[in-house]
Amino acid sequence: MVARVAIQTQDFDVAAEIAALRAQDKRVGAICTFIGTVRDRNDGSTISTMELEHYPGMTEKSIEAMIDEAFKRFDIYTARVIHRVGLLQPLDQIVLVVVTSAHRGESFQACEFLMDYLKTQAPFWKKEQTPEGARWVDARVSDDAALARWGITSGNLAP
Amino acid sequence: MRVNVKYFASIRESVGTGAEQVETTAATLGALRDELIARGGAHAQSLARGRAVRVALNQVMSAEDAALSEGCEVAFFPPVTGG
């Protein structure tokens, strides 16, 4: 059984992760993956590096809880979330979500649900290095709206 | 009672520490936040009312009316930006 959540500094191999998740599981007929990567531009500035901070313990717990929620909502077989922390550069992979199911609809939906949830509920923070200096990335209202589509109030930007 | 307070990201940077033990009479998360604001300085600025500050109690996102208990872990942080 593959662990459902990993927070790590090192990169991940998408093909190896998928292979491990579906190994010998003949029920699986659909696999959806999402990979988030570091862009070289954000809010009008060039990004040279990005540092990711998390809350050890709570971050893992919150992702476990959101995977539990995905299992309640969707008919899926397995799910795995890997999120990198530490210093990253443009082109680097940041996050991986993989979901397996019998049919594509459930894994597509679960994958999107997990990312919408992670964006506003898992304790991670990004700090970008730009030519104007370092700055913390602002949370987006659109991410709260994305989670609202699933009937969940984010509260991420609430005062 | 004594509680363990953690700060993350921009709040950690502005208060100048990631963790501290706080001796408090506050009964709830919100009352603790007000106590820390009352210290003035960086705490007042970073935790100010009207700012988007999220609070976790024992590593679960919590509302400010949640009750504190001896030795609990409280964390203050800005809106999250992972993914």
Domain parsing of chain B, residue ranges: 2-77
pLDDT of residue A150: 96
Chain A nearest-CA distance from B1, in A, is 23
pLDDT of residue A2: 82
For residue A27, give the DSSP letter: T
The β-bridge partners of A98 are: A33, A80
ipTM of this complex: 0.96
Tell me: pLDDT of A78 over 90. yes
pLDDT of residue A135: 96
Could you tell me what percent of chain A has a pLDDT over 70?
99
Tell me: pLDDT of A1 over 90. no
Closest residue in chain B to residue A82, using alpha carbons only: B83
As a dihedral over the C-alpha atoms of residue B45, residue B76, residue A55, residue A133, rounded to 10 degrees, the angle is -10
Contact A159 B52 (CB under 8 A): yes
Mean pLDDT of B51-69: 96
Summarize pLDDT for A126-142 with one digit per residue, the tens.
999 999 999 999 999 99
Counting Cα atoms < 13 Å in the Cβ hemisphere of A46 gives: 2
Tell me: pLDDT of A158 over 90. no
- Out of A83, A95, A157, name the one closest to residue B52 (CB): A157
Kind plus residue range of the DSSP H or E element containing A80: strand A76-84
Chain A nearest-CA distance from B79, in A, is 5
Chain A nearest-CA distance from B51, in A, is 5
B38 touches chain A (CB under 8 A): no
- Token output for B25: 């009479």
Say yes or no: domain A5-146 is CATH 3.30.2010.10.
no
Chain A contacts to B (CB-CB under 8 A): 36, 52-55, 57-58, 61-62, 83, 94-95, 115, 118-127, 136-139, 155-159
Whole-number mean pLDDT of chain A? 96
Contact A58 B56 (CB under 8 A): yes
Query: Spelled out in words, what is the top-level CATH class assigned to the domain B2-77?
Result: alpha beta
